[in-house]
Amino acid sequence: MSSELEPPEKKPKITGNNDLCIETIDKCIENITSSEKNLQPIINDEFHMPIQLVKVYVGHIRSAKDISRTILILNERIPLKELSHLKRVRCQCIILCPTTFLHNMSSIQEYIEIHALELKDVFDYFKEINVPLLPPKIVSQYNETKKIWPCNFHPNTYFEKLVSDHFFSSYEVKLHRQFMGVVFEIAKWYVMHRGTSSVVGGIFENVNVTVVVNPINNRIVTISYDYRHNHPMQHSAMLAIDNVAKTQNGGVWSTDYDNNLLPGLEQELIDYLKEKFSHFGIGMKKSKTDVQEEKSVNDLHGEGCGAKTDLHGEDCGHKTVVHGETKEKDGPYLCTGYYIYMLREPCVMCAMGLVHARAKRIFYCFNNSDTGALNSVVKLQTVASLNHHFEVFSGFL
Amino acid sequence: MVEFMKRALELASEALAAQEVPVGCVFTINENIVAESRNSVNITHNPTRHAEMNCIDTVLDYCKENNIDYANYFRNIDVYVTVEPCIMCAAALNILKVNQVIYGCPNDRFGGYTVLDVRKFYEPHYMLSGNLCADEAMALLKQFYKGVNPNAPESKAKKKPL
Ligand SMILES: [Zn+2]
Ligand SMILES: [Zn+2]
């Protein structure tokens, strides 16, 4: 496990200095909560990669009047499923097939004669050219792609938003930054009261903190602090998942500080947070006043945060989008719909735990270069075969 | 080896009877069982309570009670699990540096080898082999997924593919 505790950047170590630690944390809190910089979605590399090319044969048509007939025949006899984003023709050049289709055949002429004999005299010459391998996902890729070869493109507003610098509204940015501030306040509390931390070049070591928020009402559902030194599986995200289970009458890990409101947390910390963040609801239990507050908050910010659940619309491919309606009926299920705020990028185990828990969005501050599974060693949110994909955001500092 | 997998399969059947995803797991040291468990996700409302994680906790408790250094203890553990460990469990078993993992059938949805080979992130990492009693393990899974996860809300349960 020790490898996971390494800080992202190896800088001279300053240990056992709580004052410095707290100073650093305070500076982070100041920067995080005062900045208005939008957060960065952490997305598939495909969005940023240069256009990938594939080599194909094109044939030049002798007579322009044969173009449409030729395309019809080719689409039937030599369909190009993988390249269906490309238009088959440019001027009088028609894409015949990727060069890999030829296998043992000696020439493209022979290939045409075998697959579409009636086209054997249609072309006056052939050549090999490179064309874009993948369909463009975003406008900027489309513009690059069509310079190389004409192609089809269906703009996707969610994708455009992902690559823009304004994924969140300024109200949302503020809110997310405040919750990240809570994460740091918890880290600070533990440093002050438990003195277990060290800070290296402003990057936290031996510490991770998780705050789980229900975005429907902006209540903090649970909080957890890393306990891995005593129990190698009790990374803060795993503890948070168990704490959420406790709010649903489940959970397995016993802690010294069980209480109804926030399982696993010391009352002293809860009081500290309640004093500091009186504007956030903390804990699952709702009093009547909380419900009313919530109502008025929603009225106030109807646009800002209320719109959050349907931001991405259908086209983002997320299956857990619609909540508001069904939620009441079903009751909370695992971390479905919840936002997870973490100090550091979760490791492979924790990130997959959060997939199992069906968390909706993960926000974290520092990369974890050794085992971080949302950006550093892998981006679990982009692994297509998994049955749940959360969105990931960073860029707080 | 087969006897340990047979025991893991019994535990998986137990899970099935309890309406949990039927995965069973046995930890051994020198051919002796030191922990055994099964999936308990639904009863605990904790989606990380896979058979392997339960076995890990059993071992950790044992080490704590007996003042044993768990880090050393895990290095000698062989893991028999009816289904290929998921990415999370694979990471956990690598964090703990267990000696080897032997699984029954592959896990196409979450597998810590099939979907994403987690071992490449950990050095050293455990030895891995599969296909021990795979058909029995798969048959149990099929039986489960014919039914519906009773704890998932309607809409989600329906989506569960095999
Ligand atoms: Zn972790
Ligand atoms: Zn697992």
Taking only the tens place, the pLDDT of each residue in B40-64 is 999 999 999 999 999 999 999 999 9
Q: What is the pTM of this model?
A: 0.83
The DSSP bridge pattern shows strands A93-98 and A53-61 to be antiparallel
* Average pLDDT, rounded, for chain A: 83
Taking the C-alpha atoms of residue B23 and residue B39, their distance in angstroms, rounded to an integer, is 6
Please give the average per-residue pLDDT across A17-42, as a whole number: 91
Interface residue A378 vs chain B (CB under 8 A): yes
Does the pLDDT at position A14 exceed 60? Answer: no
Please give the average per-residue pLDDT across B86-102, as a whole number: 98
Q: Do A378 and B121 touch (CB under 8 A)?
A: yes
Q: What pLDDT is stored for residue A263 in this prediction?
A: 64
H/E segment holding residue B28? strand B24-29
**pLDDT tens per residue, range A109-137:** 999 999 999 999 999 999 999 999 999 99
Q: Is A273 helix (H, G, I), strand (E, B) or coil?
A: helix
Helix/strand/coil percent split, chain A, to 5: 40, 20, 40
Calculate what percentage of chain A has a pLDDT beyond 90: 63
Of B45, B116, B161, the CB nearest to A378: B116
Burial degree of A301 (CB within 10 A; 0-12, 13-18, 19+): middle
Q: What pLDDT is stored for residue A377 in this prediction?
A: 97
Q: Is A277 helix (H, G, I), strand (E, B) or coil?
A: coil
All residues with CB under 5 Å from ion ligand 1: A 235, 347, 349-350
Q: Do A334 and B49 touch (CB under 8 A)?
A: no
Q: What pLDDT is stored for residue A22 in this prediction?
A: 85
Does the pLDDT at position A313 exceed 80? Answer: no
Nearest ligand for residue B88 CA: 2
A118: number of Cβ within 10 Å: 12
Pick the closest to residue B45 from A232, A284, A325 (CA basis). Answer: A284
Calculate what percentage of chain B has a pLDDT beyond 70: 91
Taking the C-alpha atoms of residue A85 and residue B34, their distance in angstroms, rounded to an integer, is 56
A-B C-beta contacts closer than 8 Å = 105
In angstroms, what is the span from residue A345 Cα to ligand 2's centroid?
Answer: 20
In angstroms, the separation between the Cα of residue A367 and the nearest Cα of chain B is 15
Does the pLDDT at position A384 exceed 80? Answer: yes
* Strands of chain A, DSSP E: 40-41, 53-61, 89-90, 93-98, 123-132, 198-200, 203-205, 209-214, 219-225, 281-282, 339-344, 361-366, 391-394
Q: Which of A355, A356, A368 to mutate to test the interface with B (most CBs of B within 10 A)?
A: A356
- HSE (CB half, 13 Å, CA atoms) of B151? 19
Q: What pLDDT is stored for residue A273 in this prediction?
A: 87
* Average pLDDT, rounded, for chain B: 92
Please give the average per-residue pLDDT across B78-102, as a whole number: 98
**Can you state the angle between helices A267-276 and A170-194, rounded to 10 degrees?**
140
Q: Is B19 helix (H, G, I), strand (E, B) or coil?
A: coil
Structure tokens at A109: 């002429």
How far is residue A378 CA from its own chain's centroid? 12
Residues 282-341 of A with CB under 8 A from B: 319, 326, 330, 333-334, 336
B4-31 b/e (C-beta count within 10 Å ≥ 16 → b) = bbbbbbebbbebbeeebbbbbbbbbbee
In angstroms, the separation between the Cα of residue B57 and the nearest Cα of chain A is 8
pLDDT band at A195 (very low <50, low <70, confident <90, very high): low
Taking the C-alpha atoms of residue B149 and residue B19, their distance in angstroms, rounded to an integer, is 7
Return all residues near A96 (Cβ < 8 A) that are at least 6 apart: A56, A57, A58, A59, A74, A78, A108, A111, A112, A126
pLDDT band at B149 (very low <50, low <70, confident <90, very high): low
Of B46, B118, B156, the CB nearest to A333: B156
In angstroms, the separation between the Cα of residue A309 and the nearest Cα of chain B is 17
**pLDDT tens per residue, range A153-179:** 999 999 999 999 899 999 999 999 999
Q: Is A363 helix (H, G, I), strand (E, B) or coil?
A: strand
Taking the C-alpha atoms of residue B74 and residue B77, their distance in angstroms, rounded to an integer, is 5
Structure tokens at A42: 């952490």
Residue of A nearest to B63 (CA): A231
Q: Do B45 and A241 touch (CB under 8 A)?
A: no
Catalytic residues of B: 52
pLDDT band at A328 (very low <50, low <70, confident <90, very high): very low
Calculate what percentage of chain A has a pLDDT beyond 70: 78
Taking the C-alpha atoms of residue A302 and residue B27, their distance in angstroms, rounded to an integer, is 53
In angstroms, the separation between the Cα of residue A302 and the nearest Cα of chain B is 27
Residue of B nearest to A242 (CA): B46
Task: Give the C-alpha distances (Å, rounded to integers) separating A200 from A6, A10, A12, A20, A203.
Answer: 10, 8, 7, 10, 5
The DSSP bridge pattern shows strands B100-105 and B127-129 to be parallel
Does the pLDDT at position B129 exceed 90? Answer: yes
B64: number of Cβ within 10 Å: 12
Return all residues near A245 (Cβ < 8 A) that are at least 6 apart: A251, A252, A334, B44, B45, B46
Please give the average per-residue pLDDT across A356-363, as a whole number: 98
Please give the order of strands across the beta sheet that includes A40-41: A40-41, A391-394, A361-366, A339-344, A209-214, A219-225, A281-282
Return all residues near A271 (Cβ < 8 A) that are at least 6 apart: none
Taking the C-alpha atoms of residue A19 and residue A192, their distance in angstroms, rounded to an integer, is 9
Helix/strand/coil percent split, chain B, to 5: 45, 20, 35
Which one-letter DSSP state was computed for residue A167? S
Identity at B146, one-letter amino acid code = K
Please give the average per-residue pLDDT across A16-43, as a whole number: 90
End-to-end CA distance of chain A: 27
**pLDDT tens per residue, range B1-21:** 899 999 999 999 999 999 999
Does the pLDDT at position A30 exceed 90? Answer: yes
Burial degree of A121 (CB within 10 A; 0-12, 13-18, 19+): exposed
How far is residue A51 CA from its own chain's centroid? 22
The DSSP bridge pattern shows strands A40-41 and A391-394 to be antiparallel
Whether ipTM > 0.85 holds is: yes
Q: What pLDDT is stored for residue B101 in this prediction?
A: 98
